[in-house]
Each structure stands twice: as C-alpha cells, then as structure tokens.
Amino acid sequence: MIIRSRKPSDIPSSEITPESAYINRRKFLGASAGIGAAAFLGVDPVRADTAFPGGHSAPQDDEPNTLEEITSYNNFYEFGTGKEDPSKRAHALVTSPWTVKVDGLCNNPADYQLEDFIKPSTIEDRTYRLRCVEAWSMVVPWRGFPLADIISRAEPLGSATHVAFETLWDPEQMPERMWRPRIDWPYREGLRLDEAMHPLAFLVTGLYGKDLPNQNGAPLRLAVPWKYGFKSIKSIVRITFTDEEPPTTWATQTPREYGFYSNVNPDVKHPRWSQAREKRIDGSKLFGYRWLDTQFLNGYADEVGHLYEGMDLKKYF
C-alpha cells in the first residue's frame, strides 16, 4: 500500500493491513527511548550534527504505524507536554455527549450533537502520513469524512475566506502541566476556505476502523496531511467561518517559528532545526525510529500544490 502513487482517498479500507497484524508484528521499544520529549519550545529534536547518519537518504515507505505507536506517542498539550502524557491522562476526557458549534459567516449556523454532525456523511478509511513539525512522523489509518461535507452544509457566505477551529478547553478534565510561556487555551487552528474545501482535508472520528482514542483527539479531529501535524487540531468543539486569517495557537505563541500555513516543506528550516528529514516512528528499530527524507507538502504536492501557486512559501511558511 503506497500512498504516494494513489490518491489516499482511493485506498479502500480492505487494503489496510488489519490492526492485529500490526499490533503484534513489532516489538514496540518505546519511541521515547530514542526521541526524547522534544517539545515545541524545548529541545531541538533534529540536531544538525546527529541528524543524518551516513549522509544518505533513507528509503521511503508508507507502512502504517502500529496501533500502539499511534496511541502511545502523542502531542496533546492540554494533557501535558510529554509524549506519553496523553495516553496516560486523556482517558478520563468525557467525549459523549459532545456538541460541535458551527457559526460565523454562514447561512446555517448550528449547535450539533456529534451524532447529528456525522450522520449525513459517508464514513471512509484513509491512510495518511502525519509529519509533526518536531520532525517525527507516522502513517495513520484514519476513519472519518471530508471536511468539505460540513462546509457545504453550513453554506459559508461569499465573504467567508477562512475557517477557524477550536478544541475543548476544560481545565477540570485537562491536566496540562505548568510550563512557560503558558498557552492561551483553547487550542486554535485555521485554514483558508479553499484549503478546507480540498478533498484531502479530513474530519477524523476513528482510526484502525474503530472509534478515535482520546489521546488522538476524540471524538472529532482534523487530519490535514500536507501540513505539519499541529494544524490537525484535536477534540474540536467549534468551527467558525471568518473573513480574515484567524489567530492560531502556535503562530500566535511563537510567530517567528510557526506560521499560519505550516505546509510541510523540507526546504524551509525551522529556526532551530532542519526539516529536510524526518524520524518515522518505528518500534522495531533500536532507537524507536528510522530516518526518511521529508517530501514537499508531505508527498501530497500533486493533489494540493495548486493551492499555493504563485505564493512565496518561504514568506508564507
């Protein structure tokens, strides 16, 4: 199953290797042993001197990560900055009932119960690469439906240019650990309306054919596979149509390091590390990962490249 040569939307779920085959196939050594807790504002995850042993390219491949890898090595800062914090702490998050507010510049604003929000759409399985800005990556068999479905139902006004997303913020349920500078919760993300309408932009309700685990953003998250993982906002409670670029958590927090677009781009280095290569989480390896070359737009350039024609992607990073 190679994603690059086919539209991910064309990959039937029957082609995804069954979960059980993956769960036991690899001995998961714990990526934390090799990767460490590289936080956005913390240590440099890809040090120039150690990044590319031997200096040659690792072969590309897109074998899905195991369920264990996908659910035990996470970023969900509302539950702490450690990679294992979400799997240890997010289980207590109450995800039912769950309300999603759709508002802003649209004809059909509504407060939906999650079931009603999902019901009109056809659920599909899609395997996407996930490339974190910290330079680790995975391949995840998501389950969900196109974001465009919801947007069409909401009928954005002609004046709407962007879509903003918000994560639940409930300090009672979300034991973030103290860290500086503090994040101005709730976690916020956004897309240009044409990006959000692109068929690859996916609202996720599950993975490996089952309900989404809390640590992965239950009960509803985004998967925008050509952008760095932080654009794929988790546990969404609000979707708002706007006529300007909405403020987003990381671009507001550290604008020099994180832009609104955050398209995966091996040629635009993070101020503190290279983005040319990535650590594909792989529990069968001694250090819990293997090196791969990072692909422009995470390998989805044929599908989404036209969205950025004429844009200077070094400026709009």
Instruction: Give the binding site for ligand MTE (CB under 6 A).
Output: 74-78, 130, 132, 167, 187, 216-217, 229-230, 232-235
As measured in angstroms, the least distance from the Cβ of 54 to ligand MTE is 27
Nearer residue to ligand MTE within complex by CB, 237 or 304: 237
Q: How far is CA 42 from CA 39, 201, 207, 221, in A?
A: 5, 29, 29, 25
As measured in angstroms, the least distance from the Cβ of 176 to ligand MTE is 9
Whole-angstrom distance, CA of residue 174 vs CA of residue 10? 37
Nearer residue to ligand MTE within complex by CB, 162 or 231: 231
As measured in angstroms, the least distance from the Cβ of 190 to ligand MTE is 13
Nearer residue to ligand MTE within complex by CB, 105 or 204: 204
As measured in angstroms, the least distance from the Cβ of 79 to ligand MTE is 8
As measured in angstroms, the least distance from the Cβ of 124 to ligand MTE is 18
Q: What angle do CA 149, 98, 260 make, to 5 degrees?
A: 55
Nearer residue to ligand MTE within complex by CB, 151 or 204: 204
Residue of this chain nearest to ligand MTE (CB atom): 229
Nearer residue to ligand MTE within complex by CB, 86 or 156: 86
